[in-house]
Structure formats: structure tokens, C-alpha cells
Structure 1
Amino acid sequence: MPSLKIAATGRTPEVDFDFPNGVLRLAGESYPDDVATFFGPLLTALRSFLAESPATPLRFDMELLYFNSSSAKALMNILQMLETAARGGRPVTVAWCYEEDDESMRELGEDFAEDLDSVSFLLKEVPVSGVR
């Protein structure tokens, strides 16, 4: 399956889903006007990849500085898909990156991690402006 790349806008994150190498990345800010229109193709592509390549290890780098509640629901859908894949035996790692001193994003990462049992979830503090 080919990679899925979408440039960031003022309201949507950069998407770099490198399916051939098993590395998925979201970076920037996420508060799209229409969450379903933005995240729908990402969920569809991920679902197809998971079905086509069941053994490929995956890493999801979550490098968002901010996201709204609608985006949080879409992110949870992505994480639940990854959790299902991990339960099926696929190695899955989530790297939740947050800027130092950003307690809110760290706590959100901790909250998301609580819902995942089979995914390896890493909280990764990065220097300010280290997250795009």
C-alpha cells in the first residue's frame, strides 16, 4: 500500500502515513471544520493497510500541539484500530510527544494510554518547538 501524505494547514495536521515502513505520523494542530471529511480518508487507509498487511510492525508518532474534542474522538478511533491490531499479535508502538511544560498534552496522553492494553505507549517529552 502506498504512503499517505497530506500537508498541514492552519487547521489540520501534517499526515505522513508511511505504510511500507510501518510508520504513521500526525504533527501540528488539529481542529478541522469537518472532522469526518479530514479523518475519514485516514481511517479508511489505515483500515485497508491493517487488513492487507497483518504482520507489519507499526509505530504511530503523535506529535500534535493541540487538538479539539472532535479530533480527540477521531484520534481515539485510530488508537482503537491499533489496539485491535496489537491484540491480534502485531507489534504496535505509540509515541505520544508533548512539549516540555505542556502538562495538558502529557495528561491527555496518559488518559489515552489508559484505554490501551496491548499497544506499547510511550510518553515522550520534547523541547519546546520540538513538535511540529
Structure 2
Amino acid sequence: MDFDFAAGRLSLKGESYPEDASAVFGPIFSALETFFAATEGREVTFDFDMAYFNSSSAKALMNMFQMLDQAAASGCRLTVNWFFAADDDTMKEFGEDFSEDLDHVTFNLVAVE
């Protein structure tokens, strides 16, 4: 996780399979809520480069995407880049599924060789 709030560059990368996803993602949600409360009109890029996540992390990510969409609806110019290995159909499909529920976010699927 690398959040450069001043630059408007946010990144989640790697694997996520905690036993208690709320304990891991709770502080992230709090930080994002504080950040997005003061970002109206700002341009923000959020890169997701996840190699693996479990079902509880998937639910947390869905909640995070809902938060991002609400921030974008409130005036934040938000771009999400969903990186996935070109041969990883599962991660590509997750990106497609997450993007379907976003009405206000620019969502890019980015295949990486």
C-alpha cells in the first residue's frame, strides 16, 4: 500500500488474504474517508495491482470501490487503473466486475506482460 495523498496517487499492490479483513481495511477506509472529504475537484489516480485476494478482501475491495464512486460523484476526478497479468483471466474478470458498479470513476483495465 502506498498512499501519497499530497500528490493524489494511491496504490494497493500485492496479495491480500487476512483472517480479519475489517481489521486490515478499516484503517484504510478511515484514511480514505478523511482524504476524500477534502478532495472535491482534485484529480486522483488509484492503482490496483493485486496478484491475489481472498473472498473477505474482495468484499472490502467492493466497499472501497463504492467509496471511490461516491467521491467521484461528489466532484473528485478519479481514475482507477486495474493492473493484471495478461494471462490471468481471473484478475481481469474481477476488474471487469468491479468496474460494472462504478458510474463516476474512469476505470482502466491494464494488461501487463
TM-score range, shorter chain: over 0.9
1:46-78 Cα offsets, whole Å, 9 max, x none, are: 000111232321111000001111001111111
Greater relative contact order, per chain length (Cα 8 Å cut-off, separation 6+): 2
**Structure-to-structure mapping, 1:1-132, within 5 angstroms:** 15-127=1-113
Residue identity opposite 2:98 in structure 1: F
Write out the 4+ residue segments of structure 1 that deviate beyond 6 Å after TM superposition. Answer: none
* Percent identical: 52
Question: CA separation in 2, counterparts of 1:53 and 1:88?
Answer: 9
- Which segment is superposed worse, 49-58 or 112-121? 49-58
SS in 2 for 1:52: coil
Aligned length, in residue pairs: 113
Question: CA separation in 2, counterparts of 1:52 and 1:88?
Answer: 11
Give the CA deviation at 1:124.
0.1
Question: CA separation in 1, counterparts of 2:33 and 2:40?
Answer: 11
CA-based RMSD: 0.9
Question: CA separation in 2, counterparts of 1:17 and 1:125?
Answer: 22
Q: Which runs of 5+ in 2 are unaligned?
A: none
1:65-107 Cα offsets, whole Å, 9 max, x none, are: 0111100111111111110111122110000000011001001
